[in-house]
Amino acid sequence: MKKQFTTVFLALSLGACSTVTINPSSSAKLSSEPSYQQRKNFFFWGLAGEHRVDVTAVCAQQNVAQMQSQQTFVDGLLGAVTLGIYAPHSVKVWCN
């Protein structure tokens, strides 16, 4: 029984990726390489740590096409290994 519980717990915790995409022009989601990409550090299941990305500074003279905050597989794996003490998220910005 304990082995089954451990297997289910690992499957759920490692498979829990999330993505929030903001697209100001409401066009299709971009799949090209982002203009900016960085991993932001959060702690205690995301309760500690606050990061802001100034998309106007990132894109400078260009328009912002899309912004995305994502917990990737690697981010989730790092959170699972540290039991949520370290819970990073990846941020991506696309410029026109």
Enumerate residue ranges in the chain where pLDDT < 50. none
Q: Looking at the 3D structure of the chain, how many domains does it have? A: 1
**What is residue 25's predicted lDDT score, i.e. its pLDDT?**
72
CA distances from 85 to 7, 29, 41, 88 (A): 21, 32, 11, 10
Amino acid identity for residue 19 in this structure: T
Alpha helix stretches (DSSP H) within 32-89: 55-59, 73-81
At 15-28, the pLDDT tens digits run 567 777 777 776 66
The percent of residues in the chain predicted with pLDDT above 70, rounded, is: 80
**Long-range contact pairs involving 2-10 (C-beta distance under 8 Å, separation at least 24):** 10/80
Q: Which domain holds residue 44?
A: 2-95
Q: Are 94 and 34 in contact (CB under 8 A)?
A: yes
Task: HSE, CB side, 13 Å, CA atoms: give it for residue 46.
Answer: 11
Do 60 and 51 form a contact (C-beta atoms < 8 A)?
A: no
Residues paired with residue 69 on neighbouring β-strands, in sequence order? 20, 91
